[in-house]
């Protein structure tokens, strides 16, 4: 049997798959040998017969090599490349039209995109299952770095959201969204722990809000909480925690949140417990829908609304209003495209992101490996939520906030985080035929001696 396993695994080029294939075939051989023993065959003869039934080891190994090998999602890579190219074109036009940006902005954005693609490929070749193995160390350390950055960052208008590294200004807010796939890996740690696992999973949401509270960024904190809660709900729905009436628990949880959270915010607002600037922003925003407050904090909101209303379906409209307001083109790219090209540009951009996000969710939900599914869903969720928020803000349906469009919004931080998340999704797909459904937990059980024989995983 061991000689047969040696010959089979020698045909498999992917080293990570060799041990897994060996355990799978050994389990098949032992199961068949046990069946022969029950028929009255001697143990040694039963094993030999079971090995012979497996067929030629070279042919078997070659066939398994074709199945258990890394695979690249070239379709998604091409889609991300197209998105990056579209982003560069937008910033070329932006740099030409905004004299405050110029060619320097174009060169920087092109460099951020190219470097992001390189970073994406580097992460793609990293085994994502290692994150789950060390996530209880990785997540606290990453949170500590984000909190430490607050005390060393630059304060602008009362907010500390940037740090300078070797002369390069780095925005901190985008990096908080990397906590979402990390939280997905953390959820995997509590697989099968029932109510104890549920309590631990919910408690991990609290420290994840600390950076957004410190910086401060209410919208980023709310987005993080919502995405983590959705991942937690997905884990409960998939019966990760092995509790009774899981769906009823989810219904109760969401009912309480829908009823209690708005009430809590209203009480906090009325009691003066909310920071003054946030209270002022909310009052001004709600007043904007009544036609009040066209000046002050709502000035940009009404500027955006007026420009969107005056834009054409195809072709440029009067851009003097946008060009007269410094920085509005860079922060409101969808509005910029609408004014200069018409609504057709918005439709095409929305379609591009719709296809991209749909592709990432499709790949995530088809992933058999539970850890990979959760981390891919977390990364896809960041793309979806940030894209929706950005389009709504550009449509003046949300107040002015620090939302950024993945792969498009200017700045090294947004581009780096976007390509890191894409790299995680590609890594999950790359190892989909190598790692079984419960790879990491199976390896842990194997090391602890609690798993004698590994069961085979589903065929692709």
pLDDT in tens, 145-158: 999 988 887 776 55
Alpha-carbon dihedral angle through residues 87, 89, 95, 97, given to the nearest 10 degrees? -120
The predicted model gives 424-431 an average pLDDT of 91
pLDDT at 12 over 80: no
| Separation of alpha carbons 115 and 50, rounded Å | 53
Q: Cβ contacts of residue 435 below 8 Å, gap of 6+?
A: 16, 20, 129, 369, 372
* Confidence tier at 457 by pLDDT (50, 70, 90): very low
Q: Degrees (nearest 5) of the Cα angle 361, 128, 403?
A: 50
Among candidates 458, 453, 442, which has minimal Cα distance to 28?
Answer: 453
Q: 64, 457 in Cβ contact below 8 A? A: no
Write out pLDDT tens, residues 220-243. 888 999 999 999 999 999 988 989
Write the CB contacts of 104 (distance below 8 Å, at least 6 apart in sequence).
Answer: 95
For residue 160, pLDDT over 80 is answered with no
Between 347 and 459, the more confident residue is 347
The whole model's pTM is what? 0.81
Residue 70 pLDDT = 74
The average confidence (pLDDT) of the chain is 82
Question: Tell me, what's the pLDDT at 415?
Answer: 95
Mean pLDDT score, 82-110: 89
């Amino acid at each position: 049997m061991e000689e047969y396993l040696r010959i089979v695994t020698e045909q498999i080029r992917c080293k990570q798959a060799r041990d897994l294939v060996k355990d799978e075939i050994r389990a098949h051989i032992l199961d068949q040998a046990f069946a022969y023993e029950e028929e009255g065959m001697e143990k040694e003869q039963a094993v030999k017969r079971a090995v012979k039934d497996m067929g030629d080891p070279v042919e078997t190994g070659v066939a398994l090599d074709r199945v258990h090998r890394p695979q690249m999602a070239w379709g998604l890579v091409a889609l991300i490349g197209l998105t990056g190219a579209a982003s560069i074109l937008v910033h070329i036009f932006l740099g030409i039209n905004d004299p405050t940006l110029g060619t320097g902005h174009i060169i920087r954005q092109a460099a951020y995109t190219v470097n992001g693609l390189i970073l994406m490929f580097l992460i793609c070749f990293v085994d994502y299952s290692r994150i789950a193995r060390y996530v209880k160390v990785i997540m606290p350390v990453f949170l500590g770095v984000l909190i430490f950055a607050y005390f060393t960052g630059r304060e602008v208008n009362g907010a500390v959201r940037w740090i300078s590294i070797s002369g390069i200004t780095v925005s901190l807010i985008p990096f908080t969204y990397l906590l979402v796939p990390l939280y997905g890996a953390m959820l995997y740690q509590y697989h099968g722990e029932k109510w104890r696992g549920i309590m631990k999973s919910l408690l991990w949401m609290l420290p994840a809000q600390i950076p957004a509270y410190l910086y401060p960024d209410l919208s980023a904190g709310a987005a993080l909480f919502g995405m983590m809660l959705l991942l937690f709900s997905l884990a409960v729905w998939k019966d990760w925690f092995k509790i009774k009436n899981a769906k009823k628990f989810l219904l109760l949880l969401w009912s309480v949140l829908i009823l209690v959270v708005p009430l809590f915010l209203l009480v906090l607002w009325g009691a003066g417990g909310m920071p003054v600037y946030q209270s002022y922003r909310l009052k001004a925003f709600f007043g904007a829908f009544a036609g009040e407050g066209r000046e002050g904090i709502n000035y940009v909101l009404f500027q955006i609304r007026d420009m969107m209303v005056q834009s054409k379906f195809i072709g440029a409209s009067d851009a003097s209003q946008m060009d007269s307001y410094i920085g509005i083109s860079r922060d409101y790219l969808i509005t910029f495209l609408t004014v200069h090209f018409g609504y057709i540009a918005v439709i095409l951009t929305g379609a591009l992101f719709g296809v991209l996000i749909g592709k990432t969710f499709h790949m995530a939900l088809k992933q058999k490996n539970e850890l990979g599914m959760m981390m891919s869903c977390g990364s896809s969720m960041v793309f979806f939520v940030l894209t929706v928020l950005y389009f709504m803000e550009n449509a003046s349906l949300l107040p002015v906030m620090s939302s950024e469009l993945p792969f498009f919004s200017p700045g090294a931080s947004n581009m780096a985080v976007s390509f890191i998340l894409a790299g995680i999704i590609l890594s999950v797909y790359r190892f989909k035929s190598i790692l079984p459904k419960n790879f990491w937990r199976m390896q842990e059980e194997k090391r602890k001696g609690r798993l004698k024989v590994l069961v085979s995983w589903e065929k692709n």
